Amino acid sequence: MIILRFAINVAMRMTYTFLPAFARGAGLSVESMSSALSARELTALTAPIAGKASDRLGPLTIMSYGGLVAAAGLLIATLGAPGLIAGMLIFGFGRTAHQVAMGSWIGNVVAYERRGRATGLIELTWGGAALVGLPVAGLLIDGVAWWAPFSLLGVLALVSALRVRAQEPRRARQTNHEARKPHMTKTAVAALATNAAMTAAAQFLFLGHGLWLEDTYGLDTAEIGLAIVAVGAVEVIATMGSSRLTDRLGKRRSMLGGALLMTSALIVLAAYSSPPLWLGLLILVIAFLGFEYGIVSAIPLVSELDPGARAEMVGRAISISTVVRAVITLLATAIYVSQGFTMLMVVASGAGTIAVLLAAFFMVEPA
């Protein structure tokens, strides 16, 4: 399960970090590549459907199917510009099903008071994607071809998804549970809104940081990949911290702390967008650290908003955040091209401030 999650996370992150390289290699403009990524994000609107299927058929079944679809999308993405666009869409559907089912599975088997630790351990794959996956992807792009990382990750996802499927007890595949719609209480609405605002702020940085490192510091693809190693190392630290601190401090307080740290870094980048390289990387690391800690803390909280419809509630959270990411994927590129990185960070800081206010004054820890 962790290997599958790692392959999916590397595939997600590398398309942002190496967006210019993939666009050039496939013969697409940066704007067209951004549109393809935006369409990929919109596939997560199917998250409530995946949640309903997971509640009825069992999360392991949907998790394995999602991994197989994601693997197919990655392999199709190697087939030039049309394949890249189609593959990103197919990958998006598989990733969504896998993510929803995984969140539901954790909620089912781990008690809420220990869920932050379990979630943090699995989500180490996100920071690990930057620490290990992105440098390897950058070297493959420079040394082999732009499509090489897609091939490697596709095979890895395929093998691990089949392994997850093989581990599921046969009787569990025949389970047919009753599913109902989740209750959208004020607590649930506030939690989903906070999660979406944090995602919005981070998405501006995800879309812009690769272009910023290339344009401001003249880094090539491999150098950008190596620079992101520092980001990945700190994200791993943040996730390990989340696995230990979130359960002790509370999920809501942890989300608030992460949002504060991320927003503070975004404000610094908005005020000083051309610092020395070492300082720019440090600020970037702090921003990603805050987001990683906050968003990992949000996962167990969302899974407890309505235990009777756990997977569909997780699906709604993913679906809402997806709409936000899809819109911002288009906006971020347009803002960067027309206004530059400074304005991009100004807008990101505004979204981060909204997340801080929501977490501080409107969110409530689930009982």
| DSSP per-residue codes, 225-270 | HHHHHHHHHHHHHHHHHHHHHHHHH-HHHHHHHHHHHHHHHHHHHH
pLDDT band at 91 (very low <50, low <70, confident <90, very high): very high
Domains of the chain: 2-167+184-361 (1.20.1250.20)
Q: Do the Cβ atoms of 221 and 138 come closer than 8 Å?
A: yes
Span 215-236, average pLDDT: 71
Which is higher by pLDDT, 347 or 38? 347
**Window from 41-50, 86-95, 193-202 with minimum mean pLDDT:** 41-50
**Mean pLDDT for the stretch of residues 222-228:** 67
Q: Please determine, for residue 240, whether its predicted confidence score (pLDDT) is greater than 80.
A: no
pTM value is 0.73
Work out the pLDDT band at 175, boundaries 50, 70, 90.
very low
Tens-place pLDDT, residues 299-330: 888 888 877 778 888 888 888 887 888 788 77
Output the pLDDT for position 238. Answer: 66
Position 350 pLDDT exceeds 90? yes
Helices 186-217 and 221-249 meet at what angle, rounded to 10?
A: 150
Report how far residue 336's alpha carbon sits from residue 332's, in angstroms, rounded to the nearest whole number. 6
Residues 29 and 320: their CA atoms lie apart, in Å, by 28
Q: What is the mean pLDDT of residues 27-54?
A: 84
CB atoms within 10 A of CB 193: 17
